[in-house]
C-alpha cells in the first residue's frame, strides 16, 4: 500500500489554503493548478491518511470557506503544524455540569399534622371584620394555617378551607333566597334585593344547595 500524505496547499504567503491528502504530492498540485488562476504550491505536508485529514477538517471547521478550503487569519502552516503536534482532538471532552437536585420537601411535624387536621373541619370565609364573632373565627383559621410548617401541606390545607367556604357560602345564599321568597317576595323582588339579579337567577340560587 502506498504511503499517503496530508498537505496544505495554497499560494505562497496566502491564508486561503486547501487541506487534503494524496499519495502523489506533485501530481496533486498539477491537477489543482490547472483549475486555479494563481500559482499554487505545497506549503506543508505530513505522513497521514483519512483519519488525520478528517481530524484537521473538524478542528478548523469554523474557518472552512468551501469544500476542503479554509480561510485562516494568520499563518496557516503554523496553525496546522501545531494542531498535528498537539492533537487537540484527542483531549477528553469536558463533561456537562449536572443540574442541582431540587431540595427534598420537609416532612410534616406532629404539630403541623394536628393543625392540618383541625382545618379540615373549620371553614375560613373571608368576611367583613365588622362582625367580631366571624372575625375571631377567621383569625383562628389563619393561625392554624400559619402553624403548618410544611408549605405543601399548608397549601393543601388552604385549598380545603377554600373549597369548604365556597360550599358554605353557596348553601347560605340558597337559604337567604328561599327565606326572602317565603316572606312573600316574588323572585324578581328577591333578585333585586340580592344585588340586581334576574328573577331566574334568584330562583336558581335558591335551588343550588339542594
In sequence order, which ranges of 87-197 are alpha helices (DSSP H)? 110-120, 132-146, 151-182, 187-193
Which of 107, 149, 140, 146 has the alpha carbon at shortest distance from 121?
140
Predicted confidence at residue 159, as pLDDT, reads: 83
Provide the grid cell at 198. 334576574
CA distances from 89 to 52, 55, 72, 92, 180 (A): 10, 7, 19, 8, 87
| pTM for the model | 0.45
| pLDDT tens digits in sequence order for the chain, 210 residues long | 578 999 999 999 999 999 999 999 999 999 999 999 999 999 999 999 999 999 999 999 999 999 999 999 999 999 999 999 999 988 887 777 777 777 776 555 656 566 655 655 555 444 444 466 666 677 777 778 778 888 888 788 888 878 887 887 888 888 887 888 888 888 788 777 777 888 888 888 888 755
CA distances from 112 to 10, 138, 188 (A): 78, 19, 49
Predicted confidence at residue 124, as pLDDT, reads: 47
Predicted confidence at residue 25, as pLDDT, reads: 95
Amino acid at each position: 500500500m502506498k504511503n499517503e500524505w496530508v498537505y496544505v496547499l495554497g499560494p505562497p504567503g496566502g491564508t486561503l489554503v486547501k487541506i487534503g491528502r494524496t499519495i502523489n504530492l506533485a501530481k496533486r498540485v498539477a491537477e489543482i493548478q490547472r483549475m486555479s488562476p494563481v500559482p499554487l504550491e505545497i506549503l506543508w505536508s505530513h505522513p497521514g491518511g483519512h483519519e488525520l485529514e478528517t481530524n484537521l477538517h473538524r478542528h478548523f471547521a469554523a474557518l472552512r470557506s468551501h469544500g476542503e478550503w479554509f480561510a485562516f487569519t494568520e499563518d496557516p502552516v503554523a496553525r496546522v503544524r501545531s494542531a498535528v503536534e498537539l492533537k487537540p482532538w484527542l483531549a477528553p471532552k469536558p463533561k456537562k455540569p449536572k443540574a442541582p437536585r431540587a431540595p427534598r420537601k420537609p416532612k410534616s411535624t406532629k404539630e403541623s399534622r394536628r393543625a392540618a387536621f383541625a382545618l379540615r373541619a373549620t371553614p375560613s370565609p373571608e368576611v367583613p371584620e365588622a362582625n367580631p364573632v366571624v372575625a375571631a373565627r377567621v383569625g383562628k383559621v389563619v393561625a392554624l394555617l400559619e402553624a403548618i410548617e410544611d408549605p405543601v401541606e399548608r397549601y393543601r390545607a388552604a385549598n380545603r378551607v377554600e373549597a369548604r367556604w365556597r360550599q358554605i357560602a353557596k348553601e347560605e345564599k340558597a337559604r337567604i333566597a328561599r327565606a326572602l321568597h317565603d316572606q312573600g317576595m316574588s323572585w324578581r323582588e328577591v333578585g333585586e334585593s340580592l344585588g340586581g339579579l334576574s328573577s331566574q337567577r334568584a330562583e336558581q340560587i335558591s335551588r343550588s344547595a339542594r
